[in-house]
Structure 1
Amino acid sequence: MQVWHGIEQIPADLTGSVVTIGNFDGVHRGHRAVLETTISHARARRLPAVALTFDPHPAQVHRPEAAPSLLTGLTDRLVLLADAGIDVTLVVPYTLDFARATPEEFVRTYLLGALHAQAVVVGHDTRFGRDNSGDQHTMSALGREHGFDVEVVHDVGEDRRWSSSWARQLVESGDVAAAATVLGRPHRMRGVVVRGYARGRELGYPTANLAADSVGTIPADGVYAGWLRRHGGTGERLPAAISIGTNPTFGDPVRTVEAHVIGRDDLELYDEEVVVEFVTRLRPTLRFDGVEPLIAQMGHDVQDALAVLRASGV
């Protein structure tokens, strides 16, 4: 997949495209329905399928103090869009100045002037332009006026519409297994491995501690079965027992995310970017009366994690 950071990077010889627009946080199953429709139209027209997305997320610009945590940062969003089959992603820098454009100005500048869109695919809840004043009806009207087709993909889901907010709620509650149903994959976090207290190594279960600025919604405190992917997510996938919390047995004040790669004590992961994927929550965080019961529980956690991962087939 090609990535264009801003319309300045769009090739001058681009003569047409099929475009979809969105934040695509999490690239969940609802997003994928829109993406698949976009790709289908693009293939039929022999044009590139383009996803137009924004960075940073608009909420981080308009209300940073209340912005929700992101399921995926830009790096993982691009990976997931590529996995979905999108040919090109145009990343538009989201600024207050950009946000002042009317729906008409947005369409003229980006969809027509830059991308030469012949068709546009949107979700039924799409919003664009100043104060989110543009919606699916606005897009359809602009399509008729300017000569491009518009298809609206309506709610997609089973008992409830798949959405980023629902997936985020599930992750934050610790129900990462249910979140995976909405996302169509395990929830992930991406971060650099940093040095911690090294207690895990002393106890026989060394852990990779993610930096505080790691990207991705942090699940509720507890112990999880999951995977650790090395080299920024492109390397080998390793089974892991993942702990989130403040380590109450030792009275640590800082909440951490740390992954023990099961069966491996030879890994040197410091300063390496890794991706941690959460399959299911094994138990809540507990306080133990001493090191011995903690070590015994860690042994059970590792065995439980292995059993879950073997059964999941993920």
Structure 2
Amino acid sequence: MKLLLLRSFEFGLYLCTVLTVLQIIRTPSENNHRYAMTLRSFDKPIPETPQPPFPIVTDQYCTIVCGFGRGSSELGIPTANVAVEDLPPIVNKLDLGVYFGFAHLRPVLDRDVELVKRKDGQEVTYNYGKYLLEENGDFEVLPVVLSIGKNPFYGNNYKTVELHILHEFENNFYGAQVKFNLLGYIRPELNYTTVDALIHDINTDIGISKSTLAKPEYKRFERQVSDDSN
């Protein structure tokens, strides 16, 4: 068991709005490469290189925030939320659905560990990335799958942005900061009637992202989010 920054990566009507810290085994151990080879009827064509409006990159590092923390025990997919208002305006105009790109984390060194009360009244620990580990590769530019969507399953009608960073972290990082880009669109937000179908699609999304981001035409955009990009 490892302590991760978690929240259900629910790309559809199961989409939650927040993240929480839970003990859970890592990202589901499905064969993502196999899933990536499965073409679904709703998948969007991915070009050989990013096409407008991509790439889209955050103007600055965004704070990773918490909320209700619902549903993470069902899926076990680690995600981090960022506030929509912290992102470039074009992000709010994108179709709801699943995207991919690269992300880079950094700690907030001038903040002390503290307890923060979530909207549901539960307290969570904000360590501001204090326990991110260089030797674990936590500060490298990492591939990310992200969801832009709403959560009608829980009666919400506002938009959220969730990042699933494709990396195994040893510690949570509430309050840390993340800079990321969007390089392409995988599929629209969907409705699901079973958790199994949802998990299958999530793993397919992960597989598609990994295989696409490994291509030189996409991998070169790693530098957009690195500290030495300016």
Q: TM-score, normalised by structure 1?
A: 0.38
Question: 2-side partners of 1:207 and 1:279: how far apart?
Answer: 18
Decide whether the 8 Å contact of 1:240 with 1:262 is kept in 2. yes
- Larger mean Cα displacement after TM superposition, 200-209 or 297-306: 200-209
Question: 2-side partners of 1:278 and 1:200: how far apart?
Answer: 25
Question: 2-side partners of 1:280 and 1:212: how far apart?
Answer: 18
Q: Does 1:302 align with 2:227?
A: no
Residue 193 (structure 1) aligned to one of 64, 69, 76: 64
Residue 313 (structure 1) aligned to one of 192, 209, 219: 219
Q: Does 1:178 align with 2:51?
A: yes
Q: Quote how far apart the aligned CAs of 1:199 are.
A: 4.5
Q: Quote how far apart the aligned CAs of 1:287 are.
A: 1.1
2:101 matched residue in structure 1: 226
State how 1:64-79 maps to structure 2 within 5 Å: none
AA at the equivalent of 2:77: Y
Residue 270 (structure 1) aligned to one of 165, 174, 180: 174
State how 1:1-80 maps to structure 2 within 5 Å: none
Residue 205 (structure 1) aligned to one of 55, 62, 77: 77
Relative distance call for 1:212 and 1:187 in structure 2 (3 A) is closer
1:283 matched residue in structure 2: 187
AA at the equivalent of 1:178: Q
- Larger mean Cα displacement after TM superposition, 250-259 or 279-288: 250-259
Decide whether the 8 Å contact of 1:248 with 1:286 is kept in 2. no
Q: Quote how far apart the aligned CAs of 1:272 are.
A: 1.4
Where does structure 2 lack aligned partners over 5 or more consecutive residues? 1-46, 108-138, 221-230
Q: Quote how far apart the aligned CAs of 1:276 are.
A: 1.7
Decide whether the 8 Å contact of 1:249 with 1:288 is kept in 2. no
1:123-172 Cα shifts (integer Å, max 9, x gaps): xxxxxxxxxxxxxxxxxxxxxxxxxxxxxxxxxxxxxxxxxxxxxxxxxx
Larger-Rg structure:
1
Question: 1-side partners of 2:102 and 2:200: how far apart?
Answer: 22
Q: TM-score, normalised by structure 2?
A: 0.51
Q: Quote how far apart the aligned CAs of 1:210 are.
A: 0.1
Q: Quote how far apart the aligned CAs of 1:264 are.
A: 2.0
Question: 2-side partners of 1:258 and 1:215: how far apart?
Answer: 12
Question: 2-side partners of 1:266 and 1:251: how far apart?
Answer: 33
Q: Quote how far apart the aligned CAs of 1:279 are.
A: 1.2
Tell me the SS of whatever aligns to 1:213.
Answer: helix
Decide whether the 8 Å contact of 2:62 with 2:86 is kept in 1. yes
1:236 matched residue in structure 2: 140
1:252-295 Cα shifts (integer Å, max 9, x gaps): 32211110011425352311121121111111111111322111
Decide whether the 8 Å contact of 2:98 with 2:188 is kept in 1. yes
Query: What is the RMSD computed on CA atoms of the aligned residues?
Result: 2.6
Decide whether the 8 Å contact of 1:221 with 1:285 is kept in 2. yes
Question: 1-side partners of 2:171 and 2:151: how far apart?
Answer: 23
Q: Which has the higher contact order (CA 8 A, sep 6+)?
A: 2
Question: 2-side partners of 1:266 and 1:201: how far apart?
Answer: 17
Question: 2-side partners of 1:248 and 1:304: how far apart?
Answer: 26
Relative distance call for 1:253 and 1:187 in structure 2 (3 A) is same
State how 1:67-216 maps to structure 2 within 5 Å: 177-179=50-52, 186-189=55-58, 190-199=61-70, 201-202=72-73, 203-216=75-88
Larger relative helix fraction: 1
AA at the equivalent of 1:281: Y
Tell me the SS of whatever aligns to 1:308.
Answer: helix
Question: 1-side partners of 2:145 and 2:81: how far apart?
Answer: 12
Where does structure 1 lack aligned partners over 5 or more consecutive residues? 1-174
Runs (4+) of structure 1 exceeding 4 A deviation are 248-251
Query: Aligned pair count?
Result: 134
Identity of aligned residues (%): 29
Tell me the SS of whatever aligns to 1:266.
Answer: coil
Question: 1-side partners of 2:71 and 2:211: how far apart?
Answer: 21
Q: Quote how far apart the aligned CAs of 1:207 are.
A: 0.6
